[in-house]
Structures are given as structure tokens and as C-alpha cells.
Amino acid sequence: MDSEKLKELFQQLTPEEKIAQTIQLNGSLVIENEVMTTGPMHDLGLPPNLKIHEIGSIYNVNDYQKLIQLQRETLEHSRLKIPMLFMSDVIYGFRTIFPIPLAQAGSYDFDLIEQAAEMTAKECYQNGLHVIFSPMLDLVRDPRWGRVMESPGEDVYTAKRFAQSVVTGYQGDLTHGLAENHVAACIKHFAGYGAPEAGREYNTVDMSNQRLFNEYLQPYQAAIEAQALLVMTAFNVLNGEPATGSRWLNREILRERFGFDGVLVSDHAAIKELVPHGFAKDEREAAQKGLEAGVDFDMMTSVYATHLPELIKQPELAALLDEAVWRILVLKNQLGLFENPYRGLRTQHTGEVLSDEAKELAVKLVEKSCVLLKNDGSLPLKKDQTVAVIGPYGESRLTLGFWASVSGKPQDTIPLKTGLLQHFAAENLIFARGYNLFDSYEQFGPLKAGIEQLNGPIEPEDQLLVEAVKAAEAAEVIVLTFGEQFMESGEGASKAHLQLPLKQIRLIQALKKTGKPLIGVLYTGRPLVLTQVEPLFDSLLLVWYPGTMGGIGIANLLSGQASPTAKLSMTFPRSEGQIPIYSAQLPTGRPLTDSEHSDRFLSKYRDESNEPLFAFGTGLSYGMFTGEWLESAVLSETIQLDYRIKNQAEVAGETVVQIYLLQRPASMVRPSRQLIASDLVLLAPQEDKEKRLSLPISVLGFYDNQGAKHLSNGTYRFLMRIDQKETLLAVTI
Ligand code: NOJ
């Protein structure tokens, strides 16, 4: 529809219809006995005269038949036939579930990440979704917070590249609107949600503006530059104001400074929560503050619906409502919904999820996301070894991670056993569960029976331990799968303790005692504290939550068919007391080395090292790569850094080169090291390649506490990191 026609439509809307457009409800609230109903809606306190078919959007309905029906009903009953927007919590895959974002980011294969996002968009499109609530771009440095799994990790550069790849993969080229097989990205959670005090979910965030501008805001801004069409607000207080009610954040920064003109969605009930935050005296004031902050959709509360009718009697608030509704209509138009309200839904449905191509992409991304943390040579496994595969993840399909429960199905998952059987003879593999993945299935409520059936009954732990040791004794090498189960991370899963449960520690110790090489395969949604058990493993492969094709990709790595390349996207602390611990920390005036002060008065702990167990960027491979700096040149707009990478091995291989900036002195204290570039290099046996990195000089700039950018001449040092080796280069600008 052209803009004039859209304006005509907009002008015909009554105030009630406008308000209804700003309401977004979870599908479970409006569908009863397969039809849309106002019944459950009233539980939310929505006004009885609200017309359900006029509301702007519904989310988390992932069944295309239901969506067809919802749209049909909407068009039948909506006075002006305004189609409904369908959104969903698709975070790392619709039915083909890819590894969690924290894993994907460590692949540094941003093309592959984009292809996976494109595949996700295709599956969503063909199942009738218009908008998906991702990528989540909250920078994270505290593994106590359960949502680190859905973030690209601790590093600004990595998160920015991830943001651009995912947004582009979802939305494609927007020149002619959102094309077929693409959906709109809703980035979240604006802003700073990833830094809650004490790692406690929904807790306060307080940080300096320089940190906000230089670090936490950067990934969102990169996504907006990649033209993300929607943004979701955050639950947290940021520097004294709830993010959702902050005019400064949502209008001055998001819209004016970053140039975002798309739709801003509140997080679930976040406008209403301005009251318990103590930022609004009642729900009416909360509604006013939400509208004033520029929040277009009220997700899952009755606050806009109840109070806007009265509030918009004030002309300045009526004008703000008009702006919000206009943005929602523009989005519907960008999606082509006025011409084709069944966008994506009219196509043939068989075979549109879990295609061979999707599965192949997922396998590749698993291979590229698993991080080899330690290897004494026991990996890869040898073809004719007898292997005891111990631990629940040998056979469990519950490896998709928390958010996949919205649209994914564990039944689609390929377990590790199936993958291993592609490489090893069945008689060489001995399986034992080792311990129960869950202590009980009660937490699953109505889903309990289904999960239990899928995962098997709970067995006595002592018996499982005995069987595990027996299996280990009968084998030459042990592969132990262990870690968290999927409910332990995700939203609402903060933890104060990051060590393994005692039953897992006990099992690891018992297996170590057999004297067989012990290879750990760690499933987790967050960095854990492994200081006690790490020395007991001969090799350790971190597989995060690997998704639908995890079993195949992991088996390819264990067998040596594929070689690990991924790097840690988030630091593993030695103990919880070190948190937050991350790579880009600022130097102190009393560093451990080169200080004139005596030992006691240095920046350190009395009872713990300053070093993490595994630092950001850690990641081994089966190959052997080296690198050296060559020439460098400073041009008017760019710095050119030349380097050479060599594959020392007799087999072809791929490696991730990371380049860090060490910037000191500067007019503000800059991180001790800051990742500014990465390069994924594929080399033939013994091959060496010369590479050139052209960096815009602007990467040397940084923001002060007023948000102003600084850039100065001086000597900058660059550090190249390949495998675990580091080489420095100084360049004068
Ligand atoms: C709350 C979560 O914070 C957000 O990430 C999610 O998209 C919404 N609920 C909708 O389910």
C-alpha cells in the first residue's frame, strides 16, 4: 500500500481502534477451544469493550493452522480489516534448532551465522510468523545470570558482528520491503539488561555512561545500523530509571542518536512494572510514562487499554499515540500484510522445516561452535578404541536449551549415540547413564509425563554410578557427558553457585580412579566453575546446548572428522568471587606485575588468583597454526595491517585469528585489551597465506561520559592471537 493510502486508512481509525493496535497478547490468552475469545483476556483486566479482533498483535502461536484461522477471524471482524501481526520467541531456530547464541558467537564464522539466521527466517515465514523476538544483544559478563545463553557473550566486537549477521539473515535486503522467506527482527532488551547487579534476574543495572556508550549500547546500535525493524525494551532499571519508562534511553538515544524509527515493544508487562519500580504512582501514570518514552506496544497488560482512552484527551498524548499507531501500521505495511495478510501461510507446508539443507547448516554450526578447552592428545578418538560413553547426554534429546521449548521439539533431536554410531562400530561403544539428568520431573507440571517418557525414568543414583564405573573399566577411554540441564539456564535461572552438583563431581572422581583417559563433553548454557574437576579431565570439549543436530556435529568432532575452531565467547571464572571477570577489563593503578608497591598492596585476592580458569578467546584445535606480523601502513582513513598465517600440520585446517587493540595512554582509561577484528582462515597442509586487515581509523575512537567521541594520535599496539599464541605489533598514527 502506498504511503498516501496508509495515511487514509490511519485517518479512519477511531481512538478505540488506535489504542487496540498498541496491544500485544500471548496467544494462550486469546485462543480458547480453537477460536479467539475475550474470556481469558478479562483475567488480565482488559476492558470489556476492547474488541479482540482489533488488537495489534499476538505472540507465541507457532501453529500455522491456528495462525490462518486467527488472521481469517481478524479480517472478518476488524472494521477496517487491519491484519494482525504475529510475533514469536524464536531465538536460535524455529524447528531446526541451532546451537545457542553464546555458542554460535564463538564460531567467528559470521557468514555461517547469517545463513543459519536466514534458514530460521525461512522456517518462520513459511509457518506464518512476521516478527521474531531476537537477536538478544545484551552484553554479558556475569555467568550467574541465566540468560547469558541467548546472548553473544562478553565482547563488544563479537556481539556487533553477531548482531549484523543475524539481523541481515532474518530480514534480507530491505530495499523492496521484507521479501519472501524473511521476517522482521526484534532486537532486545534495550538496554543494559545483561548487567544485573549480583547476576540476579530482573535486578538493577548501574554503570557509567562511558561504559554504556563504548560497550553495552554498541551491539544494539550495530543492529539498528543493519536496519532491525523492531526493538524490545528491558525490564531493568538503568542508572536510576526503568529502561521501559526512560525517555532519555528510548527517545534521545534510541530514536534520535541511533536513528531508529521502527516499532518499540515493551517486554512482558514492563510498562505496568513501572509501578512496583516506584517510578509511576499508579497504572495510569505508568501508561503515560510508557507512551511518553515512545513504547509502541504494551505486551501482556491492560495498562494502555485501560488508561489511554482517558489520557489521550490531552492533545500532546493523543499525538504520541498517533505516532505509535502510525509506526505499527508502517510495519504491517512493510511486511506486505495489507496486500497479503496470509504472508507465508498459503504455501505448501510439508517439508518446510528441518530440510536437509537446514540440518546440514546446523551440523556445521555445531562443529564450529564447540570449544576444545583442553586436550592431552586423547582427542580425537581413535577408530578402533572401545569407548565408554557415560552420562545422560549420550542418549538424551533434551539438548536444545531453554528457549527452544517455544517452537522446537526435542523429538527432532539427534542424540550423541546416533552420531557416534556413524563413526564407531556398535560393539566398541558402551553406554551408561552415569547420573540422572533431572532429580525429579515435577518442575514440568503438565508436561511432566511427556518429558519423562522422552528422557526415561529416574533411576537410583548409586546404581547408576556403579554401572558407569563398570562400563569405564571395560573400555579403553571414557567420554563423559555432563553439565547443566536445560531448565538451569534461560530466563529466570540466576544461580549463586556455579559448581557442578555433587553427584556429578562424585562420578567424575570415580571415573578418574579407573585410570582410563577421561574426556569431558560439557553441556551448559553458561560458564560454570570447573576449578575442582578440570584437572581430572585429560581433554575437555565444551558443546553448550548444541541444538537439533548436536549429536552429529559433536560426534564429528570427537572422531576427528571435523576439527574444533571455536573460541570462548565468555570467560569461565575460577570461582564465583571473581565475577565479573572478562577480557576487556580496565588496567588498575596497582597491577600484579610492574608495580612499585609491595605484594600486599596490589590489586588481587588473598584467596584466589586474578586469572580465570578459561579466558575469553580460549579454544584449541587439532591442527597447528602460527602467525606473524608483516608490514603495516597508516592511510588517511584506514590502518592496514598485513600478516601471515601458516598451517604447520600435514592436514588441511581452519583457524580463527583474533586481533586485539591495546590502547594506552589515552585521555580515558581503555581496556587492557579489546578485540577489534577476527579472521577465519582455511589452509591446505603446510600452506601459508598472507592476509591484509584494513581497519577504519575510527575503531581507535572511544566515548567519554557525555557520549562525545575522542580519537587521538599516538602509538597503538595490536596483538594477534592464534591458537593460544600471541604476537604484538606497534603502529604510530
Ligand atoms: C520476556 C522476555 O524477557 C523476552 O525476552 C521475551 O521475548 C518476552 N518475555 C516474550 O515472551
pLDDT tens-digit map of 439-480: 999 988 888 999 999 999 999 999 999 999 999 999 999 999
Atom number of ligand 1 nearest to Cα 193: 3
Distances (CA, A) of 280 to 35, 168, 188, 201, 310: 36, 38, 23, 21, 17
Classified as helix, coil or strand, 471 is helix
717 lines ligand 1 (CB under 6 A): no
Which of 284, 310, 334 is the endpoint of a domain? 334
Q: What angle do CA 23, 25, 28 make, to 5 degrees?
A: 165
Domain for residue 490, yes or no? yes
- H or E element in which residue 323 lies: helix 315-334
Write out the three cell numbers for 150. 541467548
CATH code, domain with 688: 2.60.40.10
* Amino acid in the structure at residue 19: I
Is residue 723 part of the annotated active site? The answer reads: no
Q: What was the pLDDT predicted at 283?
A: 98
Residue 576 near ligand 1, beta carbon < 6 Å: no
Final residue before a domain boundary, out of 334, 351, 385: 334
Per the structure block, which three cell numbers stand in for 169? 539473515
C-alpha of residue 55 to centroid of ligand 1, in Å: 19
User: Which of 25, 59, 61, 89 most suits a substitution to test ligand 1, by most atoms within 8 Å of the C-beta?
Assistant: 89
For 508, residues 6+ apart whose C-beta sits below 8 A from its C-beta are 480, 482, 500, 518, 520, 533, 536, 537
How many residues are present in the chain? Answer: 733
Q: Is the CB of 133 under 6 A from ligand 1?
A: yes
80 and 167 co-located in one domain: yes
What spacing in Å lies between the alpha carbon of 715 and ligand 1's midpoint? 45
Angstrom distance (rounded) from CA 352 to CA 339: 23
Q: Which one of 536, 559, 582 terminates a domain?
A: 559
pLDDT value, residue 40: 54
Interval 229-249: pLDDT, tens: 999 999 999 999 999 999 999
Atom of ligand 1 minimally distant from the CA of 89? 7
Question: Is the separation of the CB atoms in 529 and 498 below 8 Å?
Answer: yes
Q: Is 268 in the pocket of ligand 1 (CB under 6 A)?
A: yes
d(CA 308, CA 43): 19
Query: What are the C-alpha distances in Å from 63 to residues 39, 124, 652?
Result: 21, 10, 44
pLDDT at 30: 77
Does pLDDT of 63 surpass 70?
A: yes
Closest residue by Cα to residue 582 from 604, 615, 610: 615
Q: At how many degrees (to 10) do helices 283-293 and 315-334 cross?
A: 60
Instruction: Kindly give the distance from the C-alpha atom of residue 266 to the centroid of ligand 1, in angstroms, as a whole number.
Output: 9
92: CATH: 3.20.20.300
Does the C-beta of 267 come closer than 6 Å to ligand 1?
yes
Q: Which of 57, 137, 491, 494 to mutate to test the pocket of ligand 1 (most atoms within 8 A of CB)?
A: 491
Q: Give the mean pLDDT of 352-374.
A: 97
CA distance 130 to 335: 7
What pairing do the DSSP bridges indicate for beta strands 241-242 and 371-375?
Answer: unpaired
150 lines ligand 1 (CB under 6 A): no
| 308 and 379 part of one domain | no
Distance 207 CA to ligand 1 centre (A): 23
**182 and 234 share one domain:** yes
Q: Which residues contact 449 (CB under 8 A, 6 or more apart)?
A: none
Mean pLDDT of 301-315: 97
Reported for 342-348, long-range contacts at CB under 8 A and 24+ positions apart, including other chains, are 342/68, 342/71, 342/128, 343/125, 343/128, 343/130, 344/124, 344/125, 344/126, 344/127, 344/128, 344/129, 344/180, 344/181, 345/64, 345/67, 345/68, 345/71, 345/127, 345/128, 347/126
Report the C-alpha gap between 525 and 716 in whole angstroms. Answer: 36
Residues 221 and 129 in one domain: yes
**Does 381 share its domain with 298?**
no
Whose C-alpha lies nearest to ligand 1, atom 9? 268
Are residues 326 and 391 located together in one domain of the fold? no
How many structural domains are present in the chain?
3
Higher pLDDT, 714 or 562: 562
Q: In ligand 1, which atom is closest to the CA atom of 134? A: 7
- Is the pLDDT at 351 greater than 60, yes or no? no
- Which CATH number is 389's domain given? 3.40.50.1700
pLDDT per residue as tens digits for the range 65-93? 899 999 999 999 999 999 999 999 999 99
DSSP states of 399-416 as a string? -S-GGGGTT--GGG---H
Check whether 148 has a pLDDT greater than 80: yes
Q: Is 481 exposed, middle or buried (0-12, 13-18, 19+ CB in 10 A)?
A: buried
Measured in Å, how far apart are the chain's first and last C-alpha atoms? 52
C-alpha cell at 1: 500500500
Burial class (CB in 10 A: 0-12, 13-18, 19+), 360: middle
**Percent of the chain surpassing pLDDT 70:** 98
Dist. CA 156–CA 159, nearest whole Å: 5
Do 184 and 318 lie in one domain? The reply is yes
Question: Does residue 346 fall inside a structural domain?
Answer: no
Give the number of the atom of ligand 1 that is nearest the alpha carbon of residue 406: 11
CB of 491 closer than 6 A to ligand 1? yes
CA atoms of 574 and 577, how far apart (whole Å): 8
Task: Read off the DSSP letter of residue 136.
Answer: B
pLDDT value, residue 443: 87
- Report the distance separating Cα 187 and Cα 221, nearest Å: 10
Place of cell 567519554: 704
H-helix or E-strand spanning residue 657: strand 653-662
Residue 38 pLDDT exceeds 90: no
Domain that residue 451 falls in: 369-559
pLDDT in tens, 478-494: 999 999 999 999 999 99
In angstroms and rounded to an integer, the radius of gyration of the C-alpha atoms of the chain is 26
How far away, in angstroms, is 491 Cα from ligand 1 center?
A: 8
Which residue among the candidates 89, 109, 142, 267 is catalytic per the annotation? 267
One domain for residues 387 and 506: yes
Report whether pLDDT(39) > 60: no
Angle at 252 between CA 251 and CA 258, to 5 degrees: 95
704 lines ligand 1 (CB under 6 A): no
The CB of 188 under 6 Å from ligand 1? The reply is yes
The DSSP secondary-structure symbol of 99 reads P
Same domain, 120 and 259: yes
Grid cell, residue 704, equals 567519554
Indicate the residue type of 310.
E
Check if 691 has its Cβ closer than 6 Å to any atom of ligand 1: no
Alpha helices by DSSP H, listed for 537-596, are 550-559
Asked if 197 and 303 sit in the same domain, the reply is yes
> For residue 398, how far is its CA from the centre of ligand 1 (angstroms)?
21
Domain presence at residue 242: yes
Whether residues 550 and 629 fall in one domain: no
At residue 350, the pLDDT reads: 59
Q: Are 693 and 640 spatial neighbours (Cβ–Cβ below 8 Å)?
A: yes
CA of 554 to the centre of ligand 1 (A): 30
Predicted confidence at residue 28, as pLDDT, reads 83
Judge if the beta carbon of residue 89 lies within 6 A of ligand 1.
yes
In a domain, 38, yes or no: no
CA 232 to ligand 1 center in whole angstroms: 9
Q: 251 Cβ partners below 8 Å, 6+ apart?
A: 293, 294
Nearest to 514 by CA among 469, 551, 548, 546: 469
Which residues lie across from 482 on neighbouring strands? 522
Name the residue of 148, 232, 233 to mutate for ligand 1: max ligand atoms within 8 A of Cβ.
Answer: 232
Q: Is residue 604 part of a domain?
A: no
254 Cβ contact partners less than 8 Å away, ≥ 6 residues apart: 190, 191, 220, 224, 231, 260, 264, 294
213 assigned to some structural domain = yes
Ligand 1 center to 34 CA (angstroms): 24
732 pLDDT band, cuts 50/70/90, is confident
Protein residue whose Cα sits closest to atom 3 of ligand 1: 267
Q: How confident is the model at residue 563 (pLDDT cuts 50, 70, 90)?
A: very high
Residue 679 in domain: yes
pTM for the whole thing? 0.98
DSSP class of residue 249? I
Calpha distance 65→564 (Å, rounded): 41
Q: What is the DSSP string of 598-621?
A: -GGGSS--SSS-SS-SB-TT--B-
Distance from the CA of 364 to the center of ligand 1, in angstroms? Answer: 28
What is the layout of strands, in order, in the sheet containing 638-647?
A: 625-634, 638-647, 688-696
Q: Is residue 378 part of a domain?
A: yes
Same domain, 513 and 376: yes
Report whether residue 138 contacts ligand 1, using a CB cutoff of 6 Å.
Answer: no
341, three cell numbers: 495478510
Which of 91, 267, 273, 300 to mutate for ligand 1's pocket (most ligand atoms within 8 Å of CB)? 267
